[in-house]
Amino acid sequence: MAPIVLSWSKPLLASGSSAKMDTLSLANLVLDLASIINFVALLLMLRAVVRNRNVLRGYSIAGSFLTFVSILGFEVAYYLLGNILGFALGWATVAFWFTAFVYSLRKRLKEDTERKEVVEPTTG
């Protein structure tokens, strides 16, 4: 029975088999699992938003935008790595965070406009 070797420079050896898994393959496997978990989490978030749109009320505009941009960066990395599962499942998350950003921005702009109308008296 061969031991599992964890090293940055050596490939991971599966215990008891001669099959070798290189670091890139292992990384793609971990990314696939993370993508599936992220997609399930997204479905739960979408369910909450569909039930009550006010769930998005407290979302930060900057935070939503930065999350959207970072996940878009992950999508580029998935594409460059050839990770089809992560690439495919990730677009739903990109769309969600873009929508959350736009919704938060529109809500803030609407609130600011309403506040200006209340503060500034109309002359005439």
What pLDDT sits at residue 67? 93
- Is residue 73 in a domain? yes
Query: How many structural domains is the chain composed of?
Result: 1
Range(s) of the domain holding residue 113: 24-119
- Is residue 18 in a domain? no
Helix (H, G, I), strand (E, B) or coil at 10: coil
- Is residue 1 in a domain? no
What pLDDT sits at residue 49? 85
- Is residue 19 in a domain? no
Helix (H, G, I), strand (E, B) or coil at 59: coil
What pLDDT sits at residue 117? 76
Alpha carbon separation from 3 to 12, 14, 23, 60 (Å, rounded): 10, 8, 17, 48
Render each residue's pLDDT in the chain as its tens digit; 124 residues: 555 544 443 444 444 444 567 888 888 899 999 999 999 999 998 888 888 878 877 788 999 999 999 999 999 999 998 999 999 999 999 999 999 899 889 888 988 888 877 766 666 5
- Is residue 13 in a domain? no
